[in-house]
Amino acid sequence: MLQLEGIDAGYAGTQVLWDVALEAKQGAMTVIVGPNGAGKSTVLKVINGLLRPTRGKVLFQGNDITRRPAHERTEAGISSCPEGRRLFPQLTVEANLRLGAYAKRARGSADETLEYVYRLFPRLRERAHLKTIRLSGGEQQMVGIGRALMAKPLLLILDEPSLGLAPKTVSEIFQKVRELREGGLTLLLVEQNAYQALRIADFGYVMQEGRIVNAGPPDRLLDLEDLRKAYFAIP
Q: From CA 185, how far away is CA 79, in angstroms rounded?
A: 12
Domain locations in the chain as residue ranges: 1-77+154-235, 87-152
Condensed to tens digits (0 to 9), the pLDDT of residues 106-120 reads 999 999 999 999 999
C-alpha to C-alpha distance for 61 and 17, rounded to whole angstroms: 23
At 227 the pLDDT is: 62
Mean pLDDT of 50-60: 96
Name the CATH code of domain 1-77+154-235 (choices 3.40.50.10710, 3.60.15.10, 3.40.50.300, 3.30.1330.40): 3.40.50.300
Q: Give the H or E element holding residue 189.
A: strand 186-190
Alpha helices in 101-235 (DSSP H): 104-107, 110-120, 122-126, 137-149, 167-182, 194-200, 218-223, 225-230
**Residues 160-201: tens digit of each pLDDT:** 888 878 888 888 888 899 899 989 999 999 987 777 788 889
pLDDT of residue 96: 93
Torsion angle defined by CA atoms of residues 131, 98, 192 and 2, in that order, rounded to the nearest 10 degrees: -170
C-alpha pair distances (Å), 108 with each of 103, 128, 169, 180, 231: 10, 21, 33, 22, 44
pLDDT at 20: 97
The model's pLDDT over 1-51, given as tens digits with 9 standing for 90+, comes to 899 999 999 998 899 999 999 999 999 999 998 888 889 989 999 999 999
Write down the pLDDT at residue 49. Answer: 94
Asked if residue 226 has pLDDT above 60, the reply is no
Residue 235 has pLDDT above 80, yes or no: no
C-alpha span between 206 and 106 (Å, rounded): 33
